[in-house]
Amino acid sequence: MNPNTCMTAMLALLIASPLLAEEHHTPADLGNTLTRFGALAAGNAEGTLPAYDGGLKVPAGMVPGDGNWPDPFAGEKPRLRITAANAAQYAEQLSTGQMQLLKQNPSSYYMDIYPTHRTAAFPEAYLAATQRNAAGGDCKLFNDGLSVSEGCRGGLPFPLPTNGNEAMWNYILNYQGVNGWDWNHSAYVVNQGHPTLTNTNRSTGEKPYYQVGVVGRDTKIAQRIWSKIVAPARTAGQANGYWDYLDPVANARYAWNYSTGQRRVSKAPEFAYDTPNSSFGGVAFFDEIFLFSGKLDRFNWKLVGKKEMFIPYSNYKLKWGCDIETKLMPKHINPDCERWELHRVWVVEGTRKEGVRHAQKRRQYYIDEDTFGAALYDAWDDAGNLFRSGAQYNIQAYGIPNNPQQDSYSLYDFTRNQYGMFGNGPTRYRKEPVPEREANPQTIAGGATR
C-alpha cells in the first residue's frame, strides 16, 4: 500500500475516534464517582485502566533522594508494542503527532505500552481548596475567559471544566508543589542528526498561586520562572525570566533579560506568542514552553471532550535511567527510554482567532484527567499540515513532597525535521519559598554575572 494512502487512512480513523460519553457532574460527585480533583474515579470496562485508589505511596524499600526518585515500576514489562505496522489498530488512542513519528521512522521508532498506574496524589490543602472552587463562590473566569480570579488560589480552579478556557487554565495552574522548585536544566536540540547543546542553566520556577499565606507574595502572580545560563561559554552568565499573572489583561507578562555584554536588565516583550525561543534552538515558540505558556488570547478554545489515549507516564527511566547520549537519537527520542500508559485525557482544541497573527492555525492539547498536565500536543499550519508535536513526561514525586511533576518535554518540528528535548536535569524542591529579595531580576542578574 502507498504509505501516504496508509497515513491518510490512519488520520481518518483518528479524526473519527470516539469520545467518552458525556456525563453531567456536580460538586457533590467530587470524592464519590469523581476523585476530589475531578477525574473519573472508576476504571474502564476492559480493565486496562484501573480505578483511582489514592495515588502512589512511597514504594516499600525505596527512599527518595535529593532530586531523585527511584523508579517504582522498573521491573515491569510492556503489555504491548505499537509500531508503524500495527498503528492503525490503535489509531483511536494515538495523536496525530504520534502517528507521524511512527510513519516517518518505521525501522527505529516504536511505543512500548506499560500497565497503567494512576499515581497522582495531592496534599489535603490542595484537595480542600479544589472542592471549594467547584462549589462556586469567588472562583471564576472573566475578560472572556482570559483571566481567572484570585479567589481560586490554592486549588485546581475548575475541577468540573465546562469550556476550553477553564480546561486550559487548569493546565496553566496545575499543581506541582507549593514552594519554589529548581533544577539544573539542560536543553538539547537534534539538528540534521547531530545532538547540539543549546544551553545548560540553573532554572527556578514557582507558582505564587499556591503560596497561600506566604508573606510578601504578590497574589496577582500566577507563576514565575527564571534561569541563569552556565554553559556554553559564549552565553554563560546570561539570565532571563518571566512573570505571568492571573489577570493578563490588566497585567501583561513581565519578561526580562540580562546580557553580560550590556550588563543590565532589560524588558523582553518578545518572550511571547510565536517568537522563536533561541534557547531551544528555534524548535519552540515562547508560547510552547511546557507545551503552552502565556496568554490565551490568540486562539478560540473549545473543550472537545474526554477520551482514552496512550500518553507519557511515570517516565523515571527517561529522566534518570538514560543519559543524554542514550536518550537522543538522530531523528527522535530513544523509544527504549520512554514509557507510555493508557489514561483518560481532556481534549482541548485551539483555533486561531480572526484578525490576529500566529504561525499556527490550530492546536490540540491532550490533558491528563488526573494531573491536568498537558501530556500531548499537536499544531497545524495554515495549509493544514502538521507543524509541531510535543509530549510532556511526568513522574510522581512521592514522599515529601508528594505531587505530580512535569518538568521535561519534547517538541518535534515536522517542517524542519528537527526536535528538541528540554528539562533533563534533577529537580530539587525547596522546603521554603524563594525569598522575595532573591526573586528580584536585579538580584538574579547580579548572581549570574560571570
What does the pLDDT profile of the chain (450 residues) look like in tens digits?
Answer: 344 434 434 444 444 457 887 778 999 999 999 999 999 999 999 999 999 999 998 888 888 876 788 999 999 999 999 999 999 999 999 999 999 999 999 999 999 999 999 999 999 999 999 999 999 889 999 999 999 999 999 999 999 999 999 999 999 999 998 766 666 666 677 777 888 877 788 888 889 999 998 888 899 999 999 988 887 788 888 899 999 999 999 999 999 999 888 888 999 999 999 999 887 878 999 999 999 999 999 999 999 999 999 999 999 999 889 988 899 999 999 999 999 999 999 999 999 999 999 999 999 999 999 999 999 999 999 999 999 999 999 999 888 778 898 878 999 999 988 999 987 666 666 667 888 888 889 888 877 554
Nine-digit cell at 20?
Answer: 467518552
Q: How many CB atoms lie within 10 A of CB 53?
A: 11
Question: Which residues have C-beta within 8 Å of that of residue 374, sequence separation ≥ 6?
Answer: 171, 290, 291, 292, 365, 366, 367, 368, 392
Residues 6 or more apart whose Cβ sits within 8 Å of residue 91: 10, 13, 14, 17, 99
CB count, 10 Å around CB of 135? 12
Over the range 332-342, which residues count as b (16 or more CB within 10 Å of their CB) and which as e?
A: bbebebbbbbb
Please tell me whether the overall predicted TM-score, pTM, comes out greater than 0.85 for this model: yes
- CA 412 to CA 420: how far, in whole Å? 7
φ/ψ of 364, rounded to 5, equals: -135, 130
DSSP 274: T
131: which residues sit within 8 A by CB, 6+ positions away?
27, 30, 31, 36, 155, 159
**Do 283 and 389 touch, CB atoms closer than 8 A?**
no
Q: For residues 110 and 83, is the Cβ–Cβ distance under 8 A? A: yes
3-class SS at 151? helix
Maximum distance among all alpha carbons in the chain? 65
Any idea what DSSP says for residue 437?
Answer: G
Q: Which residues contact 396 (CB under 8 A, 6 or more apart)?
A: 55, 56, 69, 119, 120, 121, 314, 402, 403, 404, 405
